[in-house]
Amino acid sequence: MRKGQTTAKIGTIRLRIDSTEVLRLPGHLGFDVKPEYRGLRYAARSCRLLFPLAQAHGLASLWITSDPKNAASRRTCELAGAKYIETVRIPRNHEMYAKDECFVRRYKINLRKKCEATLAPARIACLPRSGRGARVT
Ligand SMILES: CC(C)(COP(=O)(O)OP(=O)(O)OC[C@H]1O[C@@H](n2cnc3c(N)ncnc32)[C@H](O)[C@@H]1OP(=O)(O)O)[C@@H](O)C(=O)NCCC(=O)NCCS
């Protein structure tokens, strides 16, 4: 994520392209905003800016997951237009499992509906295939 036309990096947004089963717990989207840039809903906006790219990869819907205790992440999912679907347990043998982090909330975004909305222009840079993601600049 970069602020306006400047080069200042304000955070990171990740679009993961993989099977639904592999992404059941991590989700298609991951994000973080540097503490000094928080409070302006940049993560939700960045998610929305990636919808056309996700559609271009053939996705009809996107999943975002959130730690139930992470209020900012939960709210970001809502602000991105995602609908809460369920809370699931992380298996003990999964890399995301931690004693204080054993559940995720799963949110779904229907891209067909969302991409009809007007999106602000964004410069989207695809990472090499090995990067398994893309970033909005
Ligand atoms: C999640 C994160 C990316 C959001 O950053 P951001 O886009 O700047 O989000 P904002 O600070 O504008 O907050 C978004 C919403 O969450 C709310 N929120 C933020 N912190 C909150 C808290 N501690 N409790 C309740 N609500 C909170 C904000 O009020 C805002 O909602 P509103 O505009 O309707 O009032 C950022 O907090 C972060 O980088 N956290 C660490 C990494 C992380 O948790 N990533 C998510 C993993 S999936």
The closest-lying atom of ligand 1 relative to the alpha carbon of residue 43 is: 7
List of long-range contacts for 110-114, beta carbons under 8 Å, 24+ apart: 110/60, 110/61, 110/83, 111/51, 111/54, 111/55, 111/59, 111/60, 111/61, 111/62, 112/60, 114/48, 114/51, 114/81
Q: Which of 13, 15, 32 to mutate to test the pocket of ligand 1 (most atoms within 8 A of CB)?
A: 32
Q: How far does the centroid of ligand 1 lie from the alpha carbon of residue 59, in Å?
A: 26
**Confidence at residue 99, expressed as pLDDT on a 0 to 100 scale:** 81
Q: How far does the centroid of ligand 1 lie from the alpha carbon of residue 99, in Å?
A: 23
**Confidence at residue 12, expressed as pLDDT on a 0 to 100 scale:** 98
**Confidence at residue 23, expressed as pLDDT on a 0 to 100 scale:** 96
Q: What is the pTM of this model?
A: 0.86
Side chain identity at 136, as an amino acid letter? V
**Confidence at residue 115, expressed as pLDDT on a 0 to 100 scale:** 65
The answer to whether the CB of 105 falls within 8 A of the CB of 84 is yes
**Confidence at residue 5, expressed as pLDDT on a 0 to 100 scale:** 83
**Mean pLDDT per 10-residue section of the chain, whose length is 137 residues:** 89 95 96 98 97 96 97 98 98 90 95 65 44 47
Residue 119: which residues within 8 A CB-CB, separation 6 or more?
48, 49, 51, 52
CATH architecture classification, 11-136: 3-Layer(aba) Sandwich (3.40)
Domain ranges of the chain: 11-136
Q: Which of 14, 16, 37, 38 to mutate to test the pocket of ligand 1 (most atoms within 8 A of CB)?
A: 38
**Confidence at residue 112, expressed as pLDDT on a 0 to 100 scale:** 86
Q: How far does the centroid of ligand 1 lie from the alpha carbon of residue 65, in Å?
A: 14
**Confidence at residue 117, expressed as pLDDT on a 0 to 100 scale:** 55
